[in-house]
Amino acid sequence: MPSLIHAPVLIVAVLLLAAFVTPLIGKRPATVNAVFLGAGLVAFVLSLSMTVRVLAQGTLSYPVGGWPAPYGIVVLVDVFAAYSSLVLATVALIIFWFAAFGPREVRHNGAYFTLILLLTAAMQGMVMAGDLFNLFVFIEISSLAAIAIIAIKGTKESVEASFRYLVLSALGSGGLLFGIALIFMITGHLNMDYIRTTLTVTAEQYPLNLLTSIGLMGVGFGVKAALFPMHVWLPDAHSNAPTASSALLSGLVVKVYIIALMRITYLALGLEIFELLPIRHLFLALSTGALIVGSVFAMVQDNVKRLLAFSTVAQVGYIFLGFGLFSQRAIEGGVLHILNHAVMKSLLFLAAGVIIHQSGIKRLSQFSGLGRKMPLTFVAFTIGAMSMVGVPGTAGFISKLYLALGALDADMLIFAILILISSLLNAAYYFPIIISAFFGKESDAGATDPAFVVLAPVAVLAGMVFFFGLFPSIMVPLVRQTALLFVR
Amino acid sequence: MQATSYALTLPVMVPLLLAVVIYAVGQRSWQLRNGLSVAAALSSFLLVVQHYRTIMADVTLVAEFPELLPPLGVSFRMDHLGFLVAAVVSFVWLLVTIYSTAYMVKEHAKNRYYPFSVLTLAGAMGVVLSGDLFTFFLFFEMMSLSAYVLVIHEETAAAMRAGYRYLILTIIGGLALLFSIIAVFHQAGGVTFTPGGLPLEADGLAFFAYLGFLIGFGIKAGMVPLHVWLPEAHPVAPSPASALLSGLMLKIGAFGLIRVVFQVFGLEMMEATKWNDLLILLAAITIFLGSAVAITQDDIKRRLAYSSVGQMGYILLGIGLLQERALIGAIFHIFAHAFMKSSLFLAAGAIIYNTGKRKVSDWVGMGRSMLITMSVFTVAALSMVGVPPLVGFVSKWELALGALDAGSVAFVILLLLSSLMNFIYYFPLIQNAFFGEGLAHTAQAQPKRENVPLAMLVPMVVLAAVILIIDLLPYNIALELAERAAHSLFLTVK
């Protein structure tokens, strides 16, 4: 099909279009759901075909509207972008299903779907953007949509959490904008390719400007990706949002900023930046902090969604750790963890949402015996938790294996040990939940497994945890080539 | 000689798949569920012993799946050692499962017990038949985690506490193993079990890897000071599960250590670095402490659990001495102790089933009322003490010879001392059971007759019969296999 050449923009366009259509097509939920899921499905198919194409033919550079760079906007789909887009489209589609058929937590599904579609479109745009301006626009769309899908429940806590996120996120956006402006000042370009070529000449003339720009962008992305110690907004925001929002935010949104940051480093700044500046050491130090602090804080939580949110802080650390170690296997591990964590954290959030909705219980201390009443949901939760701990056969094990192997390749034994210790910490807060749910004293809360249509996305994600745990080789071509973008 | 045989995966895959089926049919028919559980163990056993002729022709079977789980891949391997341990594990599992069908009638949550027992079997078979460290680890974790469900089966407060301790130590052990495997892979570029060892350098990283293996397998094998979970976890499980845990799963830890010492690090490296001294030291402490503490226990299952700690010390010592005859003793003891400890736990279980009496001091006169059960117990206990010609004697004989080969009389004395302690904690119990005068008051009165179902009696008697006669046969197949296994592990050095 010749139209598939346009897949990169079509993915974003279809989602955007659907975002505007859903509130307009009336009150019939069936029609709204059909448009909503249809858009997700189309995006998934397009993303898959685009990935296949990129694997076969190499990087795809698409000038929007036929206008060439440096004046036109260029969408640049390399293996990393294709991989990210595919992960986004796949996991988003499953979450869409849950948003459509899962428990109703918001009053107007039409408006809610608009926000979700906007957020997804912006994320897709972000991972494929080939120029900084376009990237910034998508970052802003996604930030605002994310704030709205937290606040949409309208409860006091969710509004407060989203306001806090708004403030910090705006601060991050400010940093990003300023950083981008400085880059533009130095190079006169916003297209990443042109920035890199120009920087080879001008970087030496404006070292301080460049340094400031990188610092500002680092903080901007750090806040948005919830890199320790800039994660303070995340636990409230992710735990007070509706279930589908939490899964999207924790599973996908935080990672998109990491992807964007890494794309800027190798596309715009050039890999030399890793040798000139101690970025790797910063990543290593901060991700170590994230692993420990995230896990320790998760341990003392009593609200299940807050626990999952703190766990995300730690897991984001793994991805940064992969880039910080910077050996090929470590980067493969970090990149794989983008997928694996998206799958398992969405699984956990959706399962937790089902549990909360069916039983009305949020507190872990009251989970006792619930597993026997809703076995399917808790088995799914257990699978997600085992993957978090890194039990072999699950997806989480594969990322940890690659990261630990990568740590030794980078001659940093201590990080291999750190990864294993963090697994132990994960076990220390996930396993007691499962044990008390299955073997604890019966509670008097009445709860049952929900209908199949609600459980289906949870089951699919649980299946994916095992699938990617047993057949990681299916992702190897993409992940290996992505790592080769960094390590040559 | 090597040959490829994908049939090697069957003893693992059949129980793995049956575990799911058993869970599904368990809701509807308990007969089918019990039948399938026995069938899973039986088919596993038959699928192993069908390779008997090939193995005795000194052919090593392998099955490799390098595409699965890159970069390390999955592979299976059956040599003398693997064959012996796989046959022992599946055979004892079969008997214990038959025993369970009667014993578990009184228990709750049977639909959980059987699938997880079969799943644990699949894990154990996978470990024994794995061809590289990574595959080993995959199944090791599967086995350990599914065994958790067996440990906490009773769901009492004590069981949950013991189970939690077991779980945490299992995870720590698993992570230590994973670390070591990654370190080995990093240094040697592969993790396949290789006769003579992998090309490793004896540097700091390799030593850490060795420590990691020692911790990981030491926890599983109940090596002092990592044994702390064992005396808690084994007694709280239902008796057949205790038999599996104590009789078989501990051996998996020792089995892993043999693989690591001889086929990952290699004899030459171990001899050059003297790292085995640490293992010998810990083994000696384990033997002494396990046997000594067992004497003080009044709860029969706790006494048996501590006894297991001591017995595992023998096997660890046999590995650590790095002598061929000591290794024969260690490998033979894997077989011998599996049979002895399972029959002890099953006999104790039968007594608890019939009378509810867990305290040794309440067993006065038990032998007169429960003659068959106590006879089984006696045979196994005497074998533990090392009375010839029972199997326990052979292991001690080979171990002692191996110790002398290594030039240390001290270990021979330790073995004899430990035998004496075994005698002290088994003999008075047996004496009281058969010849003790029951105190007159009614609470101590023993049951009139032996009310134990046939499905429980037969497995116990079979186990005891093997203990009793295998050394009297003209062709001691277990010893032959142990000798060949040890020989091939030593042969590959030069």
Nearest to B222 by CA among B182, B165, B276, B183: B165
Query: What is the DSSP code (8-state) at residue A473?
Result: G
In angstroms, what separates the C-alpha of A406 from chain B's closest C-alpha? 9
Nearest-by-CA chain A residue for B175: A420
Indicate the pLDDT class of residue B494, thresholds 50, 70 and 90: very low
B178 touches chain A (CB under 8 A): yes
Strands B2-4 and A74-77: unpaired
B168 touches chain A (CB under 8 A): yes
Each residue of B341-380: pLDDT tens digit? 999 999 999 999 988 888 888 888 888 888 999 999 999 9
B3 touches chain A (CB under 8 A): no
Looking at the structure of chain B, the number of domains it has is: 1
Inter-chain residue contact B186 with A409, CB threshold 8 Å? yes
CB of A370 closer than 8 Å to CB of A362: no
Nearest-by-CA chain A residue for B163: A435
Q: What is the largest CA-CA distance in chain B?
A: 70
Inter-chain residue contact A393 with B138, CB threshold 8 Å? yes
Cis peptide before A70 (omega within 30 of 0): yes
Which of A329, A409, A420 minimises the CB distance to B178? A420
What is the enclosing helix (H) or strand (E) of B77? strand B74-78
Which site among B179, B185, B187, B211 would you substitute to test the A interface, given the most A Cβ atoms closer than 10 Å to its Cβ? B179
A24 touches chain B (CB under 8 A): no
* Chain mean pLDDT for chain B: 91
Find the range with the poorest average confidence among B171-175, B254-258, B449-453. B449-453
Indicate the pLDDT class of residue A143, thresholds 50, 70 and 90: very high
What does the pLDDT read at residue B474?
84
What does the pLDDT read at residue B442?
46
As a whole number of angstroms, the distance between CA B315 and CA A278 comes to 51
In angstroms, what separates the C-alpha of A345 from chain B's closest C-alpha? 21
Torsional sign, CA A54, A57, A60, A62: negative
Give the rounded distance of the alpha carbon of B237 from its chain centre: 16
Question: How many CA atoms lie within 13 Å of A85's alpha carbon, on the beta-carbon side?
Answer: 35
Inter-chain residue contact B68 with A424, CB threshold 8 Å? no
What does the pLDDT read at residue A476?
86
What does the pLDDT read at residue B439?
58
Contacts of B160 in chain A (CB under 8 A): 435, 439
Residues 384-443 of A with CB under 8 A from B: 389, 391-393, 398, 401, 404-405, 408-409, 413, 416-417, 420-421, 423-424, 427-428, 431-432, 435, 439
Which of A392, A416, A473 minimises the CB distance to B70? A473
What does the pLDDT read at residue A154?
85
Using alpha carbons only, give the angle B139, B140, B145 rounded to the nearest 5 degrees. 100
What does the pLDDT read at residue B151?
94
Region A385-412: mean pLDDT is: 93
What is the enclosing helix (H) or strand (E) of B461? helix B454-469
Region A339-356: mean pLDDT is: 96
What does the pLDDT read at residue B444?
54
The whole domain housing B62 covers: 2-491
Region B444-468: mean pLDDT is: 86
What does the pLDDT read at residue A111?
84
What does the pLDDT read at residue A2?
54
DSSP A31-59: HHHHHHHHHHHHHHHHHHHHHHHHHHH--
Give the rounded distance of the alpha carbon of A342 from its chain centre: 6
Tell me the count of A-B CB pairs closer than 8 A.
68
A343 touches chain B (CB under 8 A): no
As a whole number of angstroms, the distance between CA A453 and CA A244 comes to 15
Inter-chain residue contact A405 with B205, CB threshold 8 Å? no
Using alpha carbons only, give the angle A60, A61, A64 rounded to the nearest 5 degrees. 130
What does the pLDDT read at residue A167?
94
Indicate the pLDDT class of residue B492, thresholds 50, 70 and 90: low
Region A98-118: mean pLDDT is: 87
In this structure, the number of other CB atoms found within 10 A of the CB of residue B478 comes to 22
Indicate the pLDDT class of residue B441, thresholds 50, 70 and 90: very low
What does the pLDDT read at residue A264?
93
Phi and psi, residue B489, nearest 5°: -70, -30
Indicate the pLDDT class of residue B440, thresholds 50, 70 and 90: very low
Nearest to A391 by CA among B171, B125, B66, B213: B171
B142 touches chain A (CB under 8 A): yes
What does the pLDDT read at residue A166?
94
Q: What percent of chain A lies above the pLDDT cut of 90?
A: 74
What does the pLDDT read at residue A70?
78
As a whole number of angstroms, the distance between CA B342 and CA B247 comes to 5
Region A253-263: mean pLDDT is: 95
CB of B168 closer than 8 Å to CB of B174: no
H-state helical runs in A264-374: 272-276, 279-299, 304-325, 328-359, 370-373
B74-78 β-sheet, strand order: B2-4, B60-65, B74-78
Roughly what angle, to the nearest 10 degrees, separates helices B324-355 and B80-103?
Answer: 0
CB of B487 closer than 8 Å to CB of B324: yes
Would you list the domain boundaries of chain A? 278-488
Which of A391, A405, A421 minimises the CB distance to B185? A405
Higher pLDDT among residues A31 and A109, named by residue = A31
As a whole number of angstroms, the distance between CA B228 and CA A28 comes to 63
User: Which residues face A76 on adjacent strands?
Assistant: A61
Inter-chain residue contact B168 with A398, CB threshold 8 Å? no
Find the range with the poorest average confidence among B162-176, B350-364, B441-455, B473-487. B441-455
Indicate the pLDDT class of residue B475, thresholds 50, 70 and 90: confident
